[in-house]
Amino acid sequence: MNSNALETKDRREEHEQFYTSRELGRLLLSLLPGKTWVSGKLNVLDLCMGQGALLECVSEIAPQAALFGTDIDPVNIDAVNLNDQLDIDARCIDATTPELRRIYSKKYFDVIVGNPPFKLIHNDKYIKRELESVGYSSRSTYIEAEIYFLLYGLKILKNGGYLAYILPDGIFTKVSLKGLRKFLVSNFCVHSVMEIEPGYFDGTEAKTHLLIIQKDSPTKSVVSLFKDEHPTQVITNYEFEERGDYSFYSKACALKMKTLESLGVEIFRGRNTKKVLLGFGVENYIHTTHISHSGSILKTSSFADDKLVATKGDIVIARVGTRCLGKFGVVESGQFYVSDCVFIIRSDNPKNQRLILNTLSSSFGRNWIKSVSKGVGARHITTTDLYQLPIIVGNNENT
């Protein structure tokens, strides 16, 4: 090997220079909603642009977009500047240093794309501070560069803007990165993850995933997982915290927990406001104040004269109220009027009733309900979400 080739090889290794094939770049961008590209004025950035492969794919779809890129390697900057087909504002910097802030301190981007280097970097004061400024803290001495680039990208995205990254498997599977996944689904809209098998495209020797996140508060409670032609899997945000890779869920499919839907239960929403119920002048009504987080037994000797009433065996669960979500109870006798702040879960199978109660009283059940709840003010859950409540079967009721 001559010295030039050796130098290139060393640089490749040092900076993790694996460039994205056009095919993979196009696939990544195809996961973004079409409306992303319609704006006449779009600022698009790649913090580790290499020779501009991803930005080139952007310019195919959005020729009007203003392209920005940084890279640590001057050879890449020269290559970008020599490319007549591409007009990129290219800067040669180490994007893990304060220099980055200096360049883009006043700029926010509509779209950020990236295939960052997959390597450990020193988690120095600057990096810690930048991560803390987005609400993420890591005390470890070293941190994955891809985490820094992911979070920094989210920081300088415009509100409502999209981030599209190629990331290593560990981000979606490592137990030690559960906190990162939780941080992502708790603070942003994680739209989708597409799994790419090793070697599927040129330059993807390792298993990678394409991740699409919108900088928006988490209004969705599910993440879509894709893998080439396989059917889409939809997982809850709570499941994403555990793992976010397609393969895990497709393998686990057969073993997957039952859901309220698969138990064949019916869910009804109470109709009467509390004010109306108080106007009835009755005591046998259920509102969120009558049920508890540990589960309440509800008994009455009265009957209720309404189209929808809760009767023996019915499970009631709070539907709305940040502090009330997760409260539940079971009717042991009589009939109750039901407020519009609770759902009735009805199953005529006593074994299923027990399984549902076990799930609702477990920390798993409580966390799940919290994680699917939505709303900026008073959080609430929907029937659609509740039908997907995974039911714990077997002996692990206290999970």
Ligand X SMILES: C[S@@+](CC[C@H](N)C(=O)[O-])C[C@H]1O[C@@H](n2cnc3c(N)ncnc32)[C@H](O)[C@@H]1O
In this complex, which beta carbon is closest to ligand X, that of residue 7 or of residue 348? 7
Contact criterion met (CB below 8 Å) for 65 and 43: yes
Contact criterion met (CB below 8 Å) for 244 and 167: no
Minimal distance, residue 100 CB to ligand X, in Å:
8
Contact criterion met (CB below 8 Å) for 288 and 342: yes
Minimal distance, residue 45 CB to ligand X, in Å:
11
Minimal distance, residue 187 CB to ligand X, in Å:
24
Minimal distance, residue 128 CB to ligand X, in Å:
16
In this complex, which beta carbon is closest to ligand X, that of residue 131 or of residue 277? 131
Contact criterion met (CB below 8 Å) for 24 and 166: yes
Contact criterion met (CB below 8 Å) for 91 and 73: no
Among 316, 312, 278, which residue's Cα sits nearest to residue 295? 316
Residues 52-71 interacting with ligand X (rule: CB under 6 A) = 53-54, 70-71
Minimal distance, residue 101 CB to ligand X, in Å:
13
Residues 99-118 interacting with ligand X (rule: CB under 6 A) = 114-115, 117
Count of chain residues binding ligand X (CB under 6 A): 23
Helices vs strands, H then E, count in the chain: 15, 21
Minimal distance, residue 51 CB to ligand X, in Å:
6
Residues 18-47 interacting with ligand X (rule: CB under 6 A) = 18-20, 46
- Residues 1-20 vs ligand X: string with x where CB under 6 A? --------------xxxxxx
In this complex, which beta carbon is closest to ligand X, that of residue 9 or of residue 271? 9
In this complex, which beta carbon is closest to ligand X, that of residue 120 or of residue 134? 120
Residue ranges in the chain assigned as alpha helix (H): 3-15, 22-30, 53-61, 74-82, 99-104, 125-133, 145-155, 170-173, 178-187, 237-242, 246-252, 274-280, 350-361, 363-372, 383-387
Minimal distance, residue 258 CB to ligand X, in Å:
42
Contact criterion met (CB below 8 Å) for 326 and 370: yes
Instruction: Tell me if 153 contacts ligand X by CB under 6 A.
Output: no
Contact criterion met (CB below 8 Å) for 207 and 227: no
Question: What element of type H or E holds 208?
Answer: strand 208-214
Phi and psi at residue 122, to the nearest 5°: -70, 125
For ligand X, the binding residue among 96, 237, 284, 371 (CB under 6 A) is 96
**Tokens representing 358?**
């076990």
For ligand X, the binding residue among 72, 317, 345, 360 (CB under 6 A) is 72
Instruction: Tell me if 49 contacts ligand X by CB under 6 A.
Output: yes
Instruction: Tell me if 94 contacts ligand X by CB under 6 A.
Output: yes
Instruction: Tell me if 48 contacts ligand X by CB under 6 A.
Output: yes
**Tokens representing 137?**
């803290």
Minimal distance, residue 109 CB to ligand X, in Å:
15
Please tell me the distance from the alpha carbon of residue 238 to that of residue 245, in angstroms, as a whole number. 13
Instruction: Tell me if 73 contacts ligand X by CB under 6 A.
Output: yes
In this complex, which beta carbon is closest to ligand X, that of residue 110 or of residue 306? 110
Torsion angle, alpha carbons of 42, 43, 45, 51, to 10 = 70
Instruction: Tell me if 340 contacts ligand X by CB under 6 A.
Output: no
Instruction: Tell me if 151 contacts ligand X by CB under 6 A.
Output: no
Contact criterion met (CB below 8 Å) for 153 and 104: no
Catalog residues that contact ligand X under the rule CB under 6 A. 15-20, 46, 48-50, 53-54, 70-73, 76, 94-96, 114-115, 117
